[in-house]
C-alpha cells in the first residue's frame, strides 16, 4: 500500500493515531532523541539521526523482572512484573539503519528461547521509517554492511521525503493498519510520486559514505589477526566509558541483579540492566582473573562480536552502519578505521 502525505498533514495523521502512544524525534539539549509526542502540531521529521537508537522501546535500559518480599519465618513472596500492559506505540522517524537493527535483536532474543520481556514490548512497537535521501551523518556506512539509505528491512512503514510531501509505503500488516488509521490525512500516491521516490533512492544509494574494504573477507581476516598488536594500539585512547556500546542499536548484553531495598523484612526487586563489554568487570571472574583485562582485548571483543562472531552464529553482520559509536566516542575511536586496519592494514 503506497500513499502520499502532505507534510502539513503529519499532524492529522498523528491525531488519528490516538489509540497509540506516538513517539518522534525531538531536538532537546542540542541533540535529537525520540520523545512521546504531546502536541501533534510539534511532530516533525526534520531530524538528522537520534543519538539514542530506538532499541529501548523493546529492550529498556533498566526493567524490573519481579519484586520480592519475605516476612520473618515465612517463605519469600515473588510478584512478577511483566510489561503486558505497555501501550502500543508508533515510532516515527526511524532511520533505515536502525530499522535493520530490529531483526538482528529479534534473532538474539528468540534464538534459543523467546525472551518474553523483550517480545511483550517488541510486539507492541510499530516502526515508521524515514528514508535518508542524504546521509544524516558523515559517519554513516549502512551501504558497507549490506544496507541501504532506503532499506525497508525491519520497518512497518517507510516514508520517503518528496519535497513538500512524503511517499508512505506500508510494509507489514501493522504498517497497513497505521496507514489506514490516517484516513483522509493521506492521499493516493501518483505514478509521479513513486517515480520521484525511486529517483531519490537511486541517488541516495550513490551518495558517498564511509567504506569498509572488501567486507566479505573481514570475518576471516579478523580471526587471522586475533592476536595482532594493532588492537592494543587502536584502543590506547579508550577511556572505557561504554558510550559506543550503550548507543549501539544492536548491542544487547545485559546483567541481572537483585536490588535489595530493605533487609529486615527483606524487600527488593530483580532487575535487568544493559551491560557493556567495554567495562573491565564485564568478564571479571569471581576469582579476580579477567580474561579481557586490556583495552585492546575489549575493543577486539566489540569489533569481533559485530564482524566475526555474529556472522558465524547468525550469518549477518551485527553492525548496521549507523555511525553512532564513531560520532559519540569522546576520544575518536572509529570502528570503520579499526576494521580496515586490523583486517586489511589500511588506514
Ligand atoms: S566510546 Fe570510545 S572511549 Fe568510550 S568505551 Fe567506546 S571506544 Fe572507549
Ligand atoms: S557498531 Fe557502531 S556503527 Fe555499527 S551499529 Fe553499532 S553503533 Fe552503529
Ligand 2 site-directed mutation target among 151, 249, 317, most atoms within 8 Å of CB: 249
Domain spans in the chain, listed from the N-terminal domain onward: 2-206, 215-344
* Nearest alpha carbon to residue 84 among 116, 45, 42: 116
For 31-44, how does the pLDDT look when each residue is reduced to its tens digit (9 = 90+)? 999 999 999 988 88
Distance from Cα 309 to the centre of ligand 1, integer Å: 20
Residue nearest atom 2 of ligand 2, based on CA coordinates: 325
For 177-190, how does the pLDDT look when each residue is reduced to its tens digit (9 = 90+)? 999 999 999 999 99
Query: Using an 8 Å Cβ cutoff, are 112 and 182 in contact?
Result: no
pTM of the model: 0.94
Output the average pLDDT for the chain. Answer: 95
Q: What is residue 72's predicted lDDT score, i.e. its pLDDT?
A: 86
Residue 151 cell numbers, joined: 532499506
pLDDT tier for residue 195 given thresholds of 50, 70 and 90: very high
Q: What is residue 85's predicted lDDT score, i.e. its pLDDT?
A: 65
Ligand 2 site-directed mutation target among 251, 324, 334, most atoms within 8 Å of CB: 324
**Rounded distance, CA 97 to CA 320, Å?**
5
Residue 152 cell numbers, joined: 525497508
Query: Using an 8 Å Cβ cutoff, are 311 and 322 in contact?
Result: no
Percent above pLDDT 70 for the chain: 99
**Rounded distance, CA 116 to CA 109, Å?**
9
Distance from Cα 70 to the centre of ligand 1, integer Å: 42
For 105-162, how does the pLDDT look when each residue is reduced to its tens digit (9 = 90+)? 999 999 889 999 999 999 999 999 999 999 999 999 999 999 999 999 999 999 999 9
Q: What is residue 70's predicted lDDT score, i.e. its pLDDT?
A: 93
Which residues, 6+ apart, have CB-to-CB distance to 175 below 8 Å?
1, 126, 128, 155, 156, 157
| Length of the chain (residues) | 347
Residue nearest atom 4 of ligand 2, based on CA coordinates: 319
pLDDT at 240 over 70: yes
pLDDT at 84 over 70: no
Distance from Cα 211 to the centre of ligand 2, integer Å: 14
Q: What is residue 83's predicted lDDT score, i.e. its pLDDT?
A: 73
Q: What is residue 215's predicted lDDT score, i.e. its pLDDT?
A: 96
- Residue range 48-68: average pLDDT? 95
pLDDT at 87 over 90: no
Amino acid at each position: 500500500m503506497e500513499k502520499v502525505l502532505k507534510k502539513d498533514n503529519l499532524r492529522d495523521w498523528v491525531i488519528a493515531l490516538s489509540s497509540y502512544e506516538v513517539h518522534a524525534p525531538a531536538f532537546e539539549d542540542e541533540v535529537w532523541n525520540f520523545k512521546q509526542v504531546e502536541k501533534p502540531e510539534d511532530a516533525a521529521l526534520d531530524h538528522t539521526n537520534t543519538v539514542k537508537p530506538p532499541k529501548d522501546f523493546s529492550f529498556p535500559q533498566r526493567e524490573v523482572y519481579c519484586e520480592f518480599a519475605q516476612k520473618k519465618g515465612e517463605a519469600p513472596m515473588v510478584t512478577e512484573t511483566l510489561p503486558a500492559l505497555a501501550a502500543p506505540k508508533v515510532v516515527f522517524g526511524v532511520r533505515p539503519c536502525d530499522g535493520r537493527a530490529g531483526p538482528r535483536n529479534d534473532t538474539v532474543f528468540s534464538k534459543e528461547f523467546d525472551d518474553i520481556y523483550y517480545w511483550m514490548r517488541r510486539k507492541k512497537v510499530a516502526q515508521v521509517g524515514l528514508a535518508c535521501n542524504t546521509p544524516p551523518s558523515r559517519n554513516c556506512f549502512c551501504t558497507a554492511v549490506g544496507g541501504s539509505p532506503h532499506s525497508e528491512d525491519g520497518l512497518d512503514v517507510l516514508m520517503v521525503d518528496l519535497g513538500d510531501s512524503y511517499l508512505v509505503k506500508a510494509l507489514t500488516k501493522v504498517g497497513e493498519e497505521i496507514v489506514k488509521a490516517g484516513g483522509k490525512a493521506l492521499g493516493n500516491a501518483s505514478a509521479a510520486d513513486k517515480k520521484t521516490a525511486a529517483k531519490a533512492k537511486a541517488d541516495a544509494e550513490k551518495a558517498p559514505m564511509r567504506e569498509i574494504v572488501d567486507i566479505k573477507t573481514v570475518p576471516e581476516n579478523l580471526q587471522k589477526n586475533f592476536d595482532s598488536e594493532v588492537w592494543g594500539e587502536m584502543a590506547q585512547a579508550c577511556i572505557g566509558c561504554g558510550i559506543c556500546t550503550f548507543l549501539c542499536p544492536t548491542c544487547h548484553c545485559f546483567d541481572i541483579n537483585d536490588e535489595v531495598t530493605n533487609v529486615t523484612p527483606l524487600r527488593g526487586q530483580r532487575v535487568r540492566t544493559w551491560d557493556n563489554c567495554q567495562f573491565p568487570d564485564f568478564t571479571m571472574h569471581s576469582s579476580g582473573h579477567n580474561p579481557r583485562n586490556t583495552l585492546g582485548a575489549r575493543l577486539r571483543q566489540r569489533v569481533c562480536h559485530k564482524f566475526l562472531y555474529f556472522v558465524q552464529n547468525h550469518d549477518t553482520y551485527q553492525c548496521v552502519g549507523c555511525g553512532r559509536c564513531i560520532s559519540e566516542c569522546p576520544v575518536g575511536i572509529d570502528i570503520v578505521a579499526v576494521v580496515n586496519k586490523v583486517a586489511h592494514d589500511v588506514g
